[in-house]
A and B are shown apart, each in its own frame.
Chain A
Amino acid sequence: MTQAFRIENGGLINRDKKLSFKFNGKTYLGYEGDTLASALLANGVHLVGRSFKYHRPRGFFGAGVDEPYAVVQLFRNGETEPNIKATEQELFEGLEAKSVNCWPSVNFDIGAINNFLKIFLPAGFYYKTFMWPKSFWYRIYEPFIRKAAGLGVASTKHDKERYEHKYEYCDLLIAGSGPSGLAGAYAAAKNGAKVILAEDKPRFGGSLLTNDVNIGNQSGKDWAEGIIAELKTMPNVVVKNRSQIFGYYDHNMLVMSEKVSDHLPSTKKYNPNKRLWYIRAKEVLISSGSIERPIVFGNNDTPGVMLSSAAKEYLKVYGVLVGRTPLVFTNNDSGYETAIEFKKHGVDPVVLDSRKNPESEIIDEAKNLGINIKNSYVVVAAQGYKKVKSADIASITEDKKQLGKIENIKCDCICVSGFWTPTIHLASQSGNKTKFKEEIDAFVPGQSKQNEITLGAANGVFTLEETLKTSFKAGSELSKKITENDNEIAIPNVVEKKSSQHDKFWCVPLPKGKNYKRFLDFQNDVAVSDIEIALREGYRSIEHVKRYTTLGMATDQGKTSNLNGLQLVSEIENKVVPAVGHTTFRPPYTPVSIGAIVGREVGKHSKPTRKSPMHSWHEKNNAVFVDAGVWLRPRYYKRGNENLFEASKREAKNVRTNVGVCDVTTLGKIDVKGPDAAELLNRVYTNAWLKLPVGKARYGVMLREDGIVMDDGTTTRISENHYHMTTTTAQAANVLSHLEYYLQLVWPELNVNVVSTTEQWAGAAIAGPKSRDLLQKLFPNSDVSNEGLPFMGYMEGDLSGVKARIFRISFSGELAYEVNVESDFGNFMWEKIMGVGEEFNIQPYGTEALSTLRIEMGHVAGSELDGRTIPFDNALEGLVSKKKDFIGKRSLQRSAFIAEDRQRIVGVVPLDKQTSIPEGSHLVKDDKAPLPNPKLGHISASCWSVEYDNPFSLAILKDGKNMIGQKLFAMSPLKNKVIPVEIVSSHYVDPKGERVRS
């Protein structure tokens, strides 16, 4: 079969380039410039899918973004994408597509039984039926619905395609390249404004491509091509096709999805598949045109029933006949334009016009061509199951209530025109208060909220002359405001045929004794009867009717159904349409690929990766890394076949017996400088800071104003007015903002500067009984003895010519030091430490060993400082000054915070000294108590104590102070564990803290 419905000449396709493609496994031919829809229609294929609820056969209804039916699953270059409109997908060599929503096949569809059992599927069916019995949902209803319904399958594979984001700024953004968009863009561009013109289709020109008009002695199409060609030469203009502006957000930010590669068999090297543009526009011209409205009649969803404008577009743009015996059903002059095109191509259409005696230039032309026109006639019902075979037609009285005798006429398609609906989605999204325009039975934009203006058909203006006049003017005036240029544009002469008034008629009554389905929403299968039921059941708000019946809730967002639904509600309710109001338009205007929304932020690009200067050394030495915020930190260094548990135990043990080194570069570091630096610290930390001498470090805890611990760390006085603050890795950014907040807003009188120095310093913690010996060898010219560098002391040192900062601080609870050098020398320092440390049996240790060491010492970290604990809970009340005021102090007087049985940190040991307690386990008194078993506390951190060789955990426990020695149960329903435990002191190892001072 070779494109039997393609006319010999004409259309804008490239007939020199034949393309082969597959649909539902069968191979067809089309031309370059086709859409999948036009190529299928050229081959006489009208059956493309099944409807959502009743699984009725579905064909093509439109020719673009408004298409409710022809949604396919696309296969391209090894990838698959669901929810693709065949009317938008451009044909390429080797394209493959499949019908969706039909199982097992489009021709034989099991779900179609729903159509015959439709008594079970009225409005609200899902709500009513699937509510009970509850147990049926997962076992029966959901699997059935999932299999029988749905609009395609998302791929579960990693997407090979690349997507990009782009940020752009312009003076004037124009949505749509029809006559209005072109005129506006041209006038603004001539005034030197920075213009972006976006067109969702591959071809520019909008209605000018299909309407028989003349502008400046050229055809509309030629005029459009000329304007585009000129705009493309202008440096201040960006012209984009295949680009849909789908969202209008706050402060004139619009988002556009550009299909860069979807029309090609595969994406070109270095090109993205799609590009998402975030455009901040000073002014926006919405020239998105209008969408033809259907007229509702019996079986109006049969394949072969389509919009008359779509039939015209298939013919004029693609050279495709949608039928050979077309029936045109119209309530306005647009249907005649389609009929005239048919006639010009040797096909005899029949026109049914619901109007009694309309007169206009267009109708005269149709009459002169000898087209068969029946006035006061309507289509009562389409006949045929998988394709229109004939139509039941009848005359209709002027009040549109009574049908005459029903006749049947043969036809293979029904082209329907119920007038035009302005596309107001973008205007509505911007916050524009839309208003109902009686003359066109539709909503148009009203009062602007943002800097946007809607012109042309989108504004309900359907004559070319006025559209061009207003759009040239708007382009000039909007740009003049910005560029202050005022170049006059001569408005070209326009020749167009005058139309007559349309008929306010949108739904054909049912003939007596017939119960045809008359569909409003074609994608979600919402019929007239469904709306009637919803209203009968008491739904009044249009938003509720929408949700109950799913009218307009499909992926086409009701582009062809909303207004007819409103008409029906207003008629039954006896209200005018504006009183019913329309539902809210929300972005996106048309479905957008998740890939495009995500852009490049996938996989390891989903967040930045920060590496310490010693990262490559860790890699070379078998480090297994763990994410710590955005940092990568060694979790442990694997030796042989060791697992995490074995390696971390070895590393921790080596710290306790010899010496270990840990990369602590990731700790947050903030330089605090200025004459009032001490005063700031004194207000920020809970303990006293005014008397800290130069060359000394101090541990501090800072609170939020609500009394909860925010962070902890050591801060060192480097010189008189210079402090080096450290924060936890996770809180570094928050602490800096916190300090800036108080310095800028609360205490601007303090003369202090704060700046992050996290990345300026590389840090190594050297811990273990042999750490001093090692340090002495590293810094042979410095006195690092217990007297020369006591606990919490600080000095500068010379590390083989590199300036180093040496802090005697300890997180591990051992004798320990931290050495900092400038980041560039980080690796130098590390290798030096490892080299010199060899004779002391040094081993690097990772975060897992670090955790073990701090847990058995009872040192708190993020798992205890979890945003729910106060100093007392962490046994840090000794650091809370009673004398001075500080951030959050007043909150510590809250009754809950001073309660007798306040929660507090404790140690937990399993009675069997064997079973590790899962973190997050709850501590309960009675493991057999009925649920909900009262929780006394939770396990915050667990480790294997290398000191005692048994499991040890920390917990935050109610009345923890008085619970030492008690026996409780740790319960973890997640891990299905119940472990008898004993509560001990949180300071499990070296409770007096002698080692750090040794």
Chain B
Amino acid sequence: MLYINCPHCGMRSQNEFSYGGDASVIRPELNKEVSDQEWDNFVYNRKSLRGKHLELWQHISGCRQWIKVERDTATHEIFRTFKSDEEVA
């Protein structure tokens, strides 16, 4: 079970969180013309990386904040975690 550092609450076990997928996906702006390809990329297409992956988790049984987690999908190592509005450098 992963041990995730919630930037709001501190170290918490994985069973307090729910997974939210790739954090690098950006929703197209409202009321903007979007091509089929762009929309497909937003809704369906994911890189499914092996290695370092920036992803979303929600601290659902804690502060309920969505956070960003930089995790290695092969080793499960977690490098850093960020608040939802924090810049990922």
* Chain B 26-48 interface residues, beta-carbon cutoff 8 Å to A: 27-28, 30-31, 34, 39, 42-44
Q: Which residues of B contact A683 (CB under 8 A)?
A: 30
Q: Verify if B73 is at the interface (C-beta below 8 Å from A).
A: no
- Contact with B75, one of A280, A449, A745 (Cβ below 8 angstroms): A449
Q: Verify if B20 is at the interface (C-beta below 8 Å from A).
A: yes
Q: Which residues of B contact A540 (CB under 8 A)?
A: none
Question: Could you give, for residues 727-750 of chain A, a 1 whenever the CB lies within 8 Å of some chain B CB and a 0 otherwise?
Answer: 000000000010011001110100
Residue contact B66 to A740, C-beta cutoff 8 Å: yes
Q: Verify if A407 is at the interface (C-beta below 8 Å from B).
A: no
- Nearest B residue to A253, CB-CB: B1
Question: Could you give, for residues 122-136 of chain A, a 1 whenever the CB lies within 8 Å of some chain B CB and a 0 otherwise?
Answer: 000000000000000
Q: State the Cβ distance, A637 to closest chain B Cβ, in Å.
A: 36
Most B-side CB within 10 Å, residue of A748, A884, A891: A891
- Contact with A885, one of B30, B42, B58, B64 (Cβ below 8 angstroms): B30
Residue contact A251 to B76, C-beta cutoff 8 Å: yes
Residue contact B1 to A249, C-beta cutoff 8 Å: yes
Complex CA distance for A196 and B30, rounded to whole angstroms: 55
Complex CA distance for A745 and B27, rounded to whole angstroms: 10
Instruction: Tell me whether A737 and B1 are in contact in the complex, defined as CB-CB below 8 angstroms, given that A449-B75, A745-B84, A885-B30 are known contacts.
Output: no
- Contact with B20, one of A167, A280, A741 (Cβ below 8 angstroms): A741
Residue contact B42 to A705, C-beta cutoff 8 Å: yes
Complex CA distance for A731 and B30, rounded to whole angstroms: 25
Question: Could you give, for residues 56-89 of chain B, a 1 whenever the CB lies within 8 Å of some chain A CB and a 0 otherwise?
Answer: 1010100011100000000110100000110000
Residue contact B66 to A252, C-beta cutoff 8 Å: no
- Contact with A744, one of B1, B42, B60, B66 (Cβ below 8 angstroms): B66
Q: State the Cβ distance, B42 to closest chain A Cβ, in Å.
A: 7
Residue contact B76 to A250, C-beta cutoff 8 Å: yes
Q: Which residues of B contact A745 (CB under 8 A)?
A: 56, 66, 84
Q: How many residues of B contact A (CB 8 A)?
A: 26
- Nearest B residue to A754, CB-CB: B64
* Chain A 848-877 interface residues, beta-carbon cutoff 8 Å to B: none
Q: Verify if A431 is at the interface (C-beta below 8 Å from B).
A: yes
Instruction: Tell me whether A740 and B58 are in contact in the complex, defined as CB-CB below 8 angstroms, given that A280-B3, A706-B43 are known contacts.
Output: yes
Complex CA distance for A737 and B75, rounded to whole angstroms: 28
Residue contact A744 to B75, C-beta cutoff 8 Å: no
Q: Which residues of A contact B2 (CB under 8 A)?
A: 250-251
Q: Verify if A890 is at the interface (C-beta below 8 Å from B).
A: yes
Residue contact A740 to B64, C-beta cutoff 8 Å: yes
Question: Could you give, for residues 220-258 of chain A, a 1 whenever the CB lies within 8 Å of some chain B CB and a 0 otherwise?
Answer: 000000000000000000000000000001111100000
Residue contact A748 to B30, C-beta cutoff 8 Å: no
Residue contact A252 to B43, C-beta cutoff 8 Å: no
- Contact with B65, one of A251, A252, A744 (Cβ below 8 angstroms): A744
Instruction: Tell me whether A705 and B43 are in contact in the complex, defined as CB-CB below 8 angstroms, given that A449-B75, A740-B66, A885-B30 are known contacts.
Output: yes
- Nearest B residue to A249, CB-CB: B1
- Nearest B residue to A683, CB-CB: B30
- Contact with A253, one of B3, B60, B85 (Cβ below 8 angstroms): B3
* Chain A 662-704 interface residues, beta-carbon cutoff 8 Å to B: 683
Q: Which residues of B contact A885 (CB under 8 A)?
A: 30-31
Residue contact B85 to A748, C-beta cutoff 8 Å: yes
Complex CA distance for A250 and B65, rounded to whole angstroms: 23
Residue contact B66 to A280, C-beta cutoff 8 Å: no
Q: Which residues of A contact B78 (CB under 8 A)?
A: 251
Complex CA distance for A740 and B56, rounded to whole angstroms: 13
Complex CA distance for A741 and B43, rounded to whole angstroms: 15
Q: State the Cβ distance, A588 to closest chain B Cβ, in Å.
A: 15
- Contact with B3, one of A252, A741, A748 (Cβ below 8 angstroms): A252
Q: Which residues of B contact A431 (CB under 8 A)?
A: 75
Complex CA distance for A553 and B3, rounded to whole angstroms: 31
Residue contact B30 to A744, C-beta cutoff 8 Å: no
Q: Which residues of B contact A891 (CB under 8 A)?
A: 39, 43
Q: Which residues of A contact B30 (CB under 8 A)?
A: 683, 885
Q: Which residues of B contact A737 (CB under 8 A)?
A: 18, 58, 60
Q: State the Cβ distance, B86 to closest chain A Cβ, in Å.
A: 12
Q: How many residues of A contact B (CB 8 A)?
A: 24
Complex CA distance for A884 and B56, rounded to whole angstroms: 28
Q: Which residues of B contact A744 (CB under 8 A)?
A: 65-66, 84-85
Q: Which residues of A contact B13 (CB under 8 A)?
A: 167, 253, 280
Complex CA distance for A431 and B66, rounded to whole angstroms: 30
* Chain A 724-781 interface residues, beta-carbon cutoff 8 Å to B: 737, 740-741, 744-746, 748
Residue contact B39 to A251, C-beta cutoff 8 Å: no
Complex CA distance for A705 and B39, rounded to whole angstroms: 10
Question: Could you give, for residues 785-811 of chain A, a 1 whenever the CB lies within 8 Å of some chain B CB and a 0 otherwise?
Answer: 000000000000000000000000000
Complex CA distance for A744 and B85, rounded to whole angstroms: 8
Q: State the Cβ distance, B43 to closest chain A Cβ, in Å.
A: 5
Complex CA distance for A885 and B29, rounded to whole angstroms: 10
Q: Which residues of A contact B42 (CB under 8 A)?
A: 705
Question: Could you give, for residues 244-288 of chain A, a 1 whenever the CB lies within 8 Å of some chain B CB and a 0 otherwise?
Answer: 000001111100000000000000000000000010100000000
Q: Which residues of A contact B39 (CB under 8 A)?
A: 890-891
Complex CA distance for A746 and B42, rounded to whole angstroms: 13
Residue contact B58 to A741, C-beta cutoff 8 Å: yes
- Nearest B residue to A278, CB-CB: B1
- Contact with B84, one of A249, A253, A748 (Cβ below 8 angstroms): A748
Complex CA distance for A706 and B3, rounded to whole angstroms: 32
Most B-side CB within 10 Å, residue of A251, A280, A885, A891: A251
* Chain B 6-38 interface residues, beta-carbon cutoff 8 Å to A: 13, 18, 20, 27-28, 30-31, 34
Residue contact A251 to B60, C-beta cutoff 8 Å: no
- Contact with B1, one of A250, A706, A748, A884 (Cβ below 8 angstroms): A250
Complex CA distance for A431 and B31, rounded to whole angstroms: 49
Q: State the Cβ distance, B49 to closest chain A Cβ, in Å.
A: 18
Most A-side CB within 10 Å, residue of B31, B65, B76: B76
Residue contact A251 to B58, C-beta cutoff 8 Å: no
Q: Which residues of B contact A741 (CB under 8 A)?
A: 20, 58, 66
- Nearest B residue to A756, CB-CB: B64
- Nearest B residue to A734, CB-CB: B18
Q: State the Cβ distance, B51 to closest chain A Cβ, in Å.
A: 15
Complex CA distance for A604 and B2, rounded to whole angstroms: 28
Q: State the Cβ distance, A882 to closest chain B Cβ, in Å.
A: 13
* Chain A 863-913 interface residues, beta-carbon cutoff 8 Å to B: 884-885, 890-891
Q: State the Cβ distance, A883 to closest chain B Cβ, in Å.
A: 10
Q: State the Cβ distance, B37 to closest chain A Cβ, in Å.
A: 12
- Nearest A residue to B84, CB-CB: A744
* Chain A 437-466 interface residues, beta-carbon cutoff 8 Å to B: 449
Q: State the Cβ distance, B88 to closest chain A Cβ, in Å.
A: 13
Q: Which residues of A contact B76 (CB under 8 A)?
A: 250-251
Q: Which residues of A contact B84 (CB under 8 A)?
A: 744-745, 748
Complex CA distance for A748 and B27, rounded to whole angstroms: 13
Complex CA distance for A672 and B31, rounded to whole angstroms: 24
Q: Which residues of A contact B85 (CB under 8 A)?
A: 744, 748
Complex CA distance for A740 and B2, rounded to whole angstroms: 23
Complex CA distance for A278 and B58, rounded to whole angstroms: 23
Complex CA distance for A745 and B78, rounded to whole angstroms: 21
- Nearest A residue to B34, CB-CB: A890
Complex CA distance for A431 and B85, rounded to whole angstroms: 34
In the complex, besides A884-B31, A885-B31, A890-B34, 4 extra interface pairs with C-beta distance below 8 angstroms are A250-B2, A251-B1, A251-B78, A744-B85
Instruction: Give 6 nearest A-B pairs by CB, closest first.
Output: A251-B3, A885-B30, A744-B84, A250-B76, A744-B66, A885-B31
28 A-B interface contacts by CB (under 8 A): A250-B2, A250-B3, A251-B2, A251-B3, A252-B3, A253-B3, A253-B13, A280-B3, A449-B75, A705-B42, A737-B18, A737-B58, A737-B60, A740-B64, A740-B66, A741-B20, A741-B66, A744-B84, A744-B85, A745-B56, A745-B66, A745-B84, A746-B27, A748-B85, A885-B30, A885-B31, A890-B28, A890-B39
- Which A residues are within 8 Å of any B CB, using their own CB? 167, 249-253, 278, 280, 431, 449, 683, 705-706, 737, 740-741, 744-746, 748, 884-885, 890-891
- Which B residues are within 8 Å of any A CB, using their own CB? 1-3, 13, 18, 20, 27-28, 30-31, 34, 39, 42-44, 56, 58, 60, 64-66, 75-76, 78, 84-85
